[in-house]
Amino acid sequence: MEKPAAFLHRKYRDLNASPEVASAARRTKGLTGTELPPQKTEERIDNYLKRLRRIFGRKDPDDRERGLNAFKKVLHDKYVIKPEDIPEAYFDSIKRKHREEGHGDIEIPDDYRRELAETVRGDQKRSLDRWINYLTSDDAKYPDWLRYFALRNILRMGRYDKKKKAFTERTGGATSPFPDINYEALAIVLDAMEKQSKGEEPRFGYDIEPEVKQQFLQFLKTQNFAKLYALAVEEFKPIPEELLKITKGQWVTYPRGSDHMPLVRAISDYGTGWCLRGESMAERYLVRDQNDLHVYFSNDETGKPTVPRVVIVINAQNKMMEVRGVAEQENLDPYIGEIVQKRLTEHPDGKSWEKKDRDMRYLTMIEKKVKAKEVLAKADLIFLYEINAPIEGFGYSVDGKCSDPRVKELRSERDPKADAPIVFECQPNQIAWSKDEIKTDTKAYVGPLFPGIFLICRRFDHLCTSFPEGNMTLPTLEIGGKTEKQLETALTKAKSNISPYSLQMMQGKDFKPQKKTEQVDLVRLKVNDLFNDNQNHTTDEIYRKAEEFGLDLCPAEVGPHLRLAYTDQPLNEWLYIGMKPIAAAGGRPGVFGVARDDDGLWLSSCWAEPADPWNPGCPVCLPSPQVMLRNLVSFSSFEPLALFRQRRIRLWRKYFG
């Protein structure tokens, strides 16, 4: 039986001598003194896989995020197409499509070419990140070598050719995104490969044709991931609509530690999209991870409960870990909501899933209103556009967003400009979509930043860089009046998580909360809002650019105070504080961040040396200029008093003459 490291060395001869494996070997020598020269091929590869496991398994979310982002950057730099490498044929296809749609011949200006190039790169980054996020998460319960094998193959796969039922090979000039994830197809492939590595025969639950089975086994023999995955995707058949409409059925519990095969056999006749379809994965859930699995089976055409619709995963501590359906990305289908809602109310941990249930019910209601051609109210639009909070579903999130396809479908049929007056409760002509449109009766501004924007638009009810997702304003925040120890105690009492480095920053000499309380108006901007591009920018560049728009830096204590106040923060949102970086004892300078993930609310941190890069979509919280200009005390801890006075005078002259 071939060892995993030997398998990877055979498949990828360049792996042992790669920079990442050599770096992991040097790190091990530095930490343990153990030499891993190139001759020790399998030991070096094993050591590299262990290094990746340690990075992605870090308990501190800040540390894990930093490691994951560094890993992504390496892959982005190597495998995402560079703007200069985009072939002319891609731009020719844009011209050809334009002509075929009856718009005549066009030339593409340089600025539009750059925009198209960034769109191509953005699509590739997002599609690759979905694979990285999944394969490095606890949800992907596969051995490390299989995760690596899958990712290496994805990096070489292009678009899916439906006619040929195959993936194209990815070349240096490929402009298509990386393949979509089909969790069940992936489970079928990796489960078969794991069985093969153990000398076992793969099993097929689907009623597939003998020639298809033979073809799968042939691809398995050559360990051709791309062909195996394409075949599994093609043979995956969703549950028919007429069966989804039948919701009568029963729950079946598969207890922790029990034989996994009854579960596999029970769900194998239908395409659920669940990774549990793989025997090894089902065994890990039940035996290794000691979970109870509750599966709801609805009735088939004969009235027997055989159609799997929902699986609920409950761990040994009786905590509900997952709720998965059979719609796209494992979301709940639109008919099964009441069954799930009733089950959630019966479990003590079900309350934590109530928002997902409410959101899916509300989404279904909106879908019905649209189909009936009813007008959507303000509350409906605020929900659909995710203005106050993101829509949460039971399936996997995509780019931090709800993956339920209905959200995208419903929004694609809307006209945001027509909906904006409803949301803002004003007339269409009271919304300025550029600086030139601002009038005396303007109530909302939606557009790019310009110098003086926060002073000129300070009386507006709404201030956005775009609609609906670009709201810049945050509720007024009260800071001051608490010592470092009191802030720490308040955070602990509020059950907010504090990352270790954030706690060290608070306990350091540079963290100096002010004694007097003060009201602070804050704005929330993304890096690309400041620069109007999709490039990374350094900490120093961001702070200098913010000053051009009349913005300064937050007092450091805004981080802990915002964490205490921002209790309804949306899931998977990370918001960093634009502040003078401070360091813990012997550490690198960083800034605070407030975040919410599956483990709850966090006061986190992010390294922020002057040359450290920030990605374009990174959100930064800064104080509005009204606060900066009216209150000298709050900035006295930032810089020498004379320097602040000079800058205050400059700002007054700049905006008020």
pLDDT higher than threshold 90 for residue 50: yes
Q: Can you give the pLDDT at residue 400?
A: 62
Please, what's the b/e burial string for 270-306 (b: 16 or more CB within 10 A of its CB; e: otherwise)? bbbbbbbbbbbbbbbbbeeeebbbbbbbbbbeeeebb
pLDDT higher than threshold 90 for residue 296: yes
Q: How far apart are CA 414 and CA 289, in angstroms?
A: 44
Q: Can you give the pLDDT at residue 643?
A: 52
Q: Can you give the pLDDT at residue 646?
A: 56
Classify 15 in phi/psi space as left (phi over 0), alpha (psi -120 to 50) or beta: alpha
Least confident span in 42-56, 272-286, 488-502 = 272-286
Q: How far apart are CA 174 and CA 484, in angstroms?
A: 53
Containing H/E element for 445?
A: strand 444-446
Measuring CA to CA, which residue among 446, 457, 383 is closest to residue 414?
Answer: 383
Least confident span in 82-86, 121-125, 134-138, 651-655 = 651-655
Q: Can you give the pLDDT at residue 640?
A: 46
> Percent of the chain beyond pLDDT 70?
91
Q: Mean pLDDT across the stretch 328-340? A: 87
| pLDDT per residue as tens digits for the range 563-605 | 999 998 887 888 999 999 998 766 789 999 999 887 889 999 9
Least confident span in 4-18, 97-111, 142-156 = 97-111
pLDDT higher than threshold 60 for residue 221: yes
Neighbours of 365 (CB within 10 A): 12
Report whether 141 contacts 285 (CB < 8 A). yes
Q: Mean pLDDT across the stretch 529-535? A: 89
Q: Can you give the pLDDT at residue 628?
A: 42
Which residues are paired to 619 by β-bridges?
Answer: 526
Q: Is 230 helix (H, G, I), strand (E, B) or coil?
A: helix
Containing H/E element for 647?
A: helix 641-656
Most trustworthy range by pLDDT among 96-105, 462-471, 624-633? 462-471
The pTM of the full predicted model, rounded to 2 decimals, is 0.64
Instruction: Give the helix ranges, DSSP H, for 289-377.
Output: 337-346, 354-371
Q: What is the DSSP string of 52-89?
A: HHHHHT-SSHHHHHHHHHHHHHHHHHHHSPPGGGS-HH
Q: How far apart are CA 471 and CA 263, in angstroms?
A: 47
Average pLDDT value over all residues in the chain: 87
The residues spanned by each domain of the chain are 15-51, 57-181, 241-383, 477-656
Measuring CA to CA, which residue among 384, 431, 377, 446 is closest to residue 409?
Answer: 384
| pLDDT per residue as tens digits for the range 84-109 | 999 998 888 878 876 766 667 778 88
Gyration radius of the chain over CA positions: 27
Q: How far is CA 96 from the centre of its chain?
A: 35
Location of structure tokens 């960034």: 118
